[in-house]
Amino acid sequence: MKSSLQASPAPAEQALNQVPPLTEYNLFLTDRTLTEAVSREGAEWAAPHISELGKLLGTEEAQSWGFEADRNEPVLHTHDRHGNRRDEVVFHPAWHYLMRTSVEYRLHSLPWLEKRRGAQVARAALLMITAQNEAGHTCPISMTFSGLAALQAEPELMREWSPKVLSSAYDPRFLPAQEKSGVLLGMAMTEKQGGSDVRANTTRAARIGNSREYLITGHKWFCSAPMCDAFLVLAQSEKGLSCFLLPRWTPTGEKNNFFIQRLKDKMGNRSNASSEVEFANAWARLVGEEGRGVSTIIEMVNHTRLDCAIASAALMRQSLVQAVHHCSHRQAFGKLLIDQQLMRHVLADLALESEAATLLAIRLAASFDARESDQRQRAFARIATAIAKFWLGKRSPVHVGEALECLGGNGYVEESLMPRLYREAPLYSIWEGSGNVICLDVLRALSREPAALDALLDEFRSAKGKDRRLDAYLTRVEADLTGNIKQALKNGGGEIETQARRLAESLALALQGGLMVQHASAEAANAFISSRLSGDHGLTFGTLPPGANLNAILGRMT
Ligand SMILES: Cc1cc2nc3c(=O)[nH]c(=O)nc-3n(C[C@H](O)[C@H](O)[C@H](O)COP(=O)(O)OP(=O)(O)OC[C@H]3O[C@@H](n4cnc5c(N)ncnc54)[C@H](O)[C@@H]3O)c2cc1C
């Protein structure tokens, strides 16, 4: 018989004051900013679909896929046991669950299939909740979604590939596309000598006779998700840098000369395989006009940049959710953390940043919806993509870092979601154009596309009249854009480049301020404007001005 001492756990083994797991919640329905934005922007028709996914992603099982896929990294098999080339990456089953779910819920295809208002916003909401659960697998999902934008430049290829790209069947088998029920697209631009300046690419494309078929030879330093079925590739042909579609298998059903050299040992994004690849006379088809590869692939890049903005907002949202959950259950000094005044300041500040991020990402997605029929929205999307990608990519790592600290030491431990979110966050600023490159793109849009400037000014005008501090900020930014900046852009030279980050920041804050006064609560808009636009804020989160209405701001969270 056990003694009573043996029956009860030793004091050190009692899990006192530990936080219950955050499971069985709906990632969509619990996000008021997102649900409101979805109905405001014409995507109400998709709400049941998004909500269904939101519920699934909140289950313990779906959460475990993210942890498993991250822990059990993909493995490259360059050769089979007989020494033949294999060039296959093998993934943990959890990766396949994630991929299957995202394909079935049409994260890769919705706006291409549903030609109706709100389709981009609906898909942005799907991505926003999915990236909160596991962001790594959204890389091939995003590239597939975006790749179609480039393929449109080649109608014959579009006709051939789009039915399988748009399929809701996830088919991970390594087989020729003809034998599969669904296929995925990737992209390979970056080379050893540089990713920002793709004009320096040395990969060569040799034309086969007079056809639109080419043989590609060269090396790509980053090629993510190499198990995709075909890749948009940049290579130098006779007429200059051109865009190609390079499948893993040739049309005659042989493996293409696509050799995976190794997988990158990455800081984060570990569930996803990112590789170095060698092409040795790999068969490919020209996409768009020969010699105009950058302008062909830029349509794909713009869509992936949209996704970078959405994913950054997603990481901020999930960090906030985790931080608020933890602080709502953990006590210190006799009170729940969420009731400690200084912690309330930190959480409210994080909430404001997250709300403004979501509003900006969804506003951007809405402009992608409208840009098909509205030139003004097209011009807005052009410049707002760069602004949002830069700003949200920069805010997210600091935001996640601060949210992680709200969990104390528990946030630093892999069993919490926080390290995974933290490692993922800087990626969205690096790929698809790193911070400086994107800021220079903002300058490029302003100097070369007058419609982009006009669209931005229109957007600012529509936010005026609701808060005089915001009005003053917008007037200053407008004066800058139409005065100093315009003049400096005209003069050319390097001087204007030194101001590119300051400018991109101010434009992002102007957009966010406008969105907050229009769509957030009065208390949140007020705190956002006094802290971010009127300068009543420190350099860290948790430095909101004393009068900020923390109860109202945090009230929207619970
Ligand atoms: C995990 C991961 C996956 C990736 N997957 C893919 C993929 O699937 N396909 C693909 O093609 N690429 C991929 N990339 C590559 C990525 O797009 C590049 O890393 C990125 O474009 C930057 O290129 P780079 O690394 O060569 O940096 P560089 O071009 O060398 O730039 C280094 C730094 O210099 C800055 N810089 C560059 N030019 C200027 C300038 N004129 N003025 C001021 N600053 C400047 C940049 O902003 C950057 O901060 C991936 C990268 C990562 C990390």
Q: How far apart are alpha carbons 93 and 108 in whole angstroms?
A: 20
Which is higher by pLDDT, 9 or 466? 466
Q: Residues with Cβ within 6 A of ligand 1?
A: 186-190, 194-196, 222-224, 266, 269, 274, 427, 430-432, 434-437
pLDDT average, residue stretch 401-409: 98
Q: What integer pLDDT is reported at residue 490 of this predicted model?
A: 84
Q: How far apart are alpha carbons 521 and 538 in whole angstroms?
A: 23
What distance in angstroms lies between residue 136's CA and the mean position of ligand 1's atoms?
18
Pairing state between β 230-237 and 75-79 = unpaired
Stretch (H or E) spanning 509: helix 500-519
Least confident of 200-209, 482-491, 499-508: 482-491
Q: How far apart are alpha carbons 556 and 396 in whole angstroms?
A: 20
What distance in angstroms lies between residue 432's CA and the mean position of ligand 1's atoms?
7
pLDDT at 10 over 70: no
First-to-last CA distance in the chain? 48
Q: Are 185 and 143 in contact (CB under 8 A)?
A: yes
What distance in angstroms lies between residue 547's CA and the mean position of ligand 1's atoms?
42
pLDDT average, residue stretch 527-534: 98
What distance in angstroms lies between residue 196's CA and the mean position of ligand 1's atoms?
5
Q: What integer pLDDT is reported at residue 486 of this predicted model?
A: 84
For the stretch 346-392, pLDDT in tens is 999 999 999 999 999 999 999 999 998 999 999 999 999 999 999 99
Q: What integer pLDDT is reported at residue 9 of this predicted model?
A: 63
pLDDT-derived band at 7, boundaries 50, 70, 90: low
- Nearest atom in ligand 1 to 224's CA: 8
Q: Are 485 and 442 in contact (CB under 8 A)?
A: no
pLDDT average, residue stretch 23-46: 98
- Nearest atom in ligand 1 to 190's CA: 11
pLDDT at 6 over 80: no
Q: Are 509 and 533 in contact (CB under 8 A)?
A: yes
Q: Whole-number mean pLDDT of the chain?
A: 96
Q: What are phi and psi of 346, to 5 degrees?
A: -65, -50
What distance in angstroms lies between residue 435's CA and the mean position of ligand 1's atoms?
9
What distance in angstroms lies between residue 144's CA and the mean position of ligand 1's atoms?
20
Which of 201, 222, 428, 496 is the pocket-test mutation for ligand 1 (most atoms within 8 Å of CB)?
A: 222
For the stretch 476-503, pLDDT in tens is 999 999 988 888 888 877 789 999 999 9
Q: Are 150 and 297 in contact (CB under 8 A)?
A: yes
Burial class (CB in 10 A: 0-12, 13-18, 19+), 557: buried
User: What six digits make up the tokens of 227?
Assistant: 């198990």
Q: Are 316 and 34 in contact (CB under 8 A)?
A: no
- Nearest atom in ligand 1 to 196's CA: 29
Q: How far apart are alpha carbons 419 and 413 in whole angstroms?
A: 7
Q: How far apart are alpha carbons 469 and 16 in whole angstroms?
A: 47
For the stretch 221-267, pLDDT in tens is 999 999 999 999 999 999 999 999 999 999 999 999 999 999 999 99
For the stretch 299-351, pLDDT in tens is 999 999 999 999 999 999 999 999 999 999 999 999 999 999 999 999 999 99
Place of tokens 């000094």: 333
pLDDT average, residue stretch 153-164: 97
- Nearest atom in ligand 1 to 430's CA: 20
pLDDT at 5 over 80: no
Q: What integer pLDDT is reported at residue 484 of this predicted model?
A: 84
Q: Are 382 and 452 in contact (CB under 8 A)?
A: yes
Q: pTM for this one?
A: 0.97
Biggest alpha carbon–alpha carbon distance for the chain? 91
pLDDT average, residue stretch 282-289: 98
- Nearest atom in ligand 1 to 497's CA: 42
Which of 70, 196, 231, 279 is the pocket-test mutation for ligand 1 (most atoms within 8 Å of CB)?
A: 196
User: What six digits make up the tokens of 251?
Assistant: 């049309």
pLDDT-derived band at 1, boundaries 50, 70, 90: very low
State the DSSP code for 9: P
Which of 430, 432, 497, 501 is the pocket-test mutation for ligand 1 (most atoms within 8 Å of CB)?
A: 430
pLDDT-derived band at 556, boundaries 50, 70, 90: confident
What distance in angstroms lies between residue 283's CA and the mean position of ligand 1's atoms?
26
pLDDT at 12 over 80: no
Burial class (CB in 10 A: 0-12, 13-18, 19+), 329: middle
- Nearest atom in ligand 1 to 194's CA: 26
- Nearest atom in ligand 1 to 186's CA: 8
Q: What integer pLDDT is reported at residue 397 of this predicted model?
A: 98
For the stretch 106-131, pLDDT in tens is 999 999 999 999 999 999 999 999 99
**Closest to 125 in 3D by CA, of 23, 55, 46, 45:** 46
What distance in angstroms lies between residue 434's CA and the mean position of ligand 1's atoms?
6
User: Atom 46, ligand 1: which residue's CA is nearest?
Assistant: 434
- Nearest atom in ligand 1 to 225's CA: 8
